[in-house]
Structure formats: C-alpha cells, structure tokens
Amino acid sequence: VHGGCAWCAAHARPLPWRTEPREPWAALVCEIMAQQTQIARVAERFGPFMERFPTPAAMAEADEREVLALWSGLGYYRRARSLHAAARAIVEHHNSVTPTDPDALAELPGVGRYTAGAVASIAGHVRTPIVDGNIARVLVRLEGQDLAHGAAGTARWAWSRAETLADAADADRIAAFNEGLMELGATVCTPGEPDCAACPVRTECVARREGRQREIPRPKATAKRSILHAGAAVVTDGRGRVLLERRPTGGLWGGLWQAPTVDGKTPITAASLRSHVLPDSPNTIELSLGFEFAGETEFRTTHRDVRFRVWRAEARSPMTAKLSALGERRWVGISEFDTIALGSAQRRVLAAGGVSADGVSAAEA
C-alpha cells in the first residue's frame, strides 16, 4: 500500500491548496470546505476565499456575515460558522498560528478526527491516520472485507486499519501516503465502477483478485427522507431590486438571505405567504401585480426534500422601516447577489420567480 506514494506524486490532481510546503491554515480551510462538497466547486472558490482570509487573524477580525457571503455556493453554512470560530480560537489560544498537532486541531470548533488528521499529516508530517468515506472504501476493498458503506462497524475497522498503516509509514512520507489514499478513493477506487487497471495497488487488492470490487462495501440502507414545504415570494421594485429577508440564526440555512419565505409540514398557500410579506397594520408595500404563481422547484438537503412554491409580485411603493417587524429585510440589487450570503436553494427560488441566479433578470438572460 505504501507504494502508492509515488503514484500520488505523479497523478494527484493539481489543486490550488497543494503547495510546497503545505500551509496549515490553507490545509484547514480546504478540508472544511471539502466536507460534503465537490472538489471542483471547492477549487473554484478556494482562491478568492483565501485572498480575503489569508490567515486565521484575517478571518477572526471579519464579521461572520462576510464569511458567509464568501462561502455562498458551497452549502452547509454551519461549516463556515465553525471555521470562523476556529479562526478566533487559533488567534486566542495558538498565537494566530494554525496548530499541526492532531489533538490541538481536534479541539477547534468544527474539526473532527478526519480533518485533524488530514491537516496534521499533510501540513505537519505527523504520523496519524485519516478515514473518510473514500478512504474506507479503498481499505475495505484492499482487504476484501464484507462490510457496509457508512456503517459504524465499517468506520471502526477502517480507522484501526488506517492507524496500523500510518504507524508503518515513514514520517517524511506520511503526507504523500494519506493524500494518496484520498486520491485513490476520489479518482480511481470509485463507488460504482472502480478503474482497477489504473490502480497502483491492484496486485494487493483482495476484492479485485476475487472479482468483488463492485460488490463491496455493501450499500448502506437509506433512511427515509422527510419533506419540508415552503412558499416564497419574489418581489421586485421599479429600480431592479429584489426584496430579501435574513433567516433566523440556527436551523436550516440559518442566517442566509432569501426571498420572503414561509415553510411548514403542509403545502404553503398564497394567503399565508402574503400575510408574511405584508404586515397587517399597516401594509408597507403596495403590490401592482398582486401575487402571481410562478412555479415550483425542489431542493435536496442531506436529510430532506424542500419543495418550494414560488409567487412573484411587483412593488409600487418603497419599503419602509415597518416592514422589518417580521425580521431583517432589505432591497438588494441583483448585481449584489455575490456579496451576500445567498445559498443555492435561494438562488433557485429567485430564478423560478424571474430573477436568474447569475445576477440578471430572467427577461434579460
């Protein structure tokens, strides 16, 4: 297995955080960004993010809202809040220097065993194991273990095996070894159709030798997904602006901006949405269109399906301060979308209501 280090050096993807020497803060940022997010998307957003927050101190000094705005498009915004809290902890407890000790890393907000091990081994050359879903799959196939993907027992076995392998690795090769496992799982030993011919450890692989590489790990039983219904109003004014509100902190999409939205366990009606947009006494926006049904769109999160019904309306008079009685609201020019924390689901809703996600009206697109 350790022979894969040379393969990694020759075949690893040229990602922007793979510098020599590795910088611990950059390693921490990219690992947290990559949790449950495609690497291509992370690579696209990493440069601008690091340009604004090149050090933990730079992020610690920033307002959380700015961090969330630059995180837009990466999803799972709790990670951005955790990274912001981790930056402040690094400034306060580590003299603004990102630690490379796995125990110290694991004490930072939002940093689990895998992330701590990845940063420690890749940026600090600490002989410590790492296991995520990709690495577990590589190890299970190599050893021919009849285990289920994502099961607790599979994780325990994989961590034990990874620890044995890390202990046997040369200290100056642990970074290449762990990163090699990452690359194998991400690019070669993939879930459905592994490219065994390209694998540097194919001669050691029990699953390949027994012809079971497509059968293991066994699929994990999928949990039943819940459904959340939502109704959203895309309200524009005569100046090309869109009415947005900030969701409460915490919970689904906490703290992000959205078109005024009501959600619940049953489909949302136009009447309930209208009462959310227009406070009863007195109304603070006059609508020249009323509410016109614009369509439906669905967004899948990790554990649920969010089903949006979207209405659109045009405002005839400007928003007054009274409108904020139901929460923080403001008019936002469509050219400002990239400067606020506006998630993918919210962009999809705006597009359904006639405002495209790239910052131009649907009529102009």
Name every residue whose Cβ is closer than 8 Å to that of residue 23 and which is 6 or more positions away in sequence: 17, 123
Catalytic residue among 20, 23, 31, 64: 31
Instruction: Determine contact, residues 354/233, Cβ cutoff 8 Å.
Output: no
Alpha helices in 169-289 (DSSP H): 174-183, 206-209, 270-277
Three-class secondary structure of residue 305 per DSSP = strand
Angle at 228 between CA 313 and CA 236, to 5 degrees: 15
User: For the stretch 304-333, what's the b/e string if a residue is b when 16 or more beta carbons lie within 10 angstroms of its beta carbon?
Assistant: eebbbbbbbbbbeeebeeebeeeeebbbbe
Nearest-angstrom CA–CA distance, 45 and 67: 12
Q: Got the DSSP string for 4-43? A: HHHHHHHH----TT--SSPPHHHHHHHHHHTTTS-HHHHH
Residue 246 in contact with residue 77, Cβ under 8 Å?
A: no
At 267 the three-state DSSP class reads coil
Helix boundaries (H) for the chain? 4-11, 24-33, 39-52, 56-60, 64-71, 78-93, 102-106, 113-124, 133-143, 152-168, 174-183, 206-209, 270-277, 344-352
How far, in Å, CA of 318 to CA of 173, rounded?
A: 63
Q: Are strands 241-246 and 329-333 parallel, antiparallel or unpaired?
A: antiparallel
Give the CA angle between residues 38, 339, 307 to the nearest 5°.
55
Does residue 31 have an active-site annotation?
Answer: yes
Dist CA 103 CA 232 (whole Å): 45
67, 34 Cβ separation under 8 angstroms? no
Rounded CA gap, 178 and 183, in Å? Answer: 9
Active site residues per annotation: 31
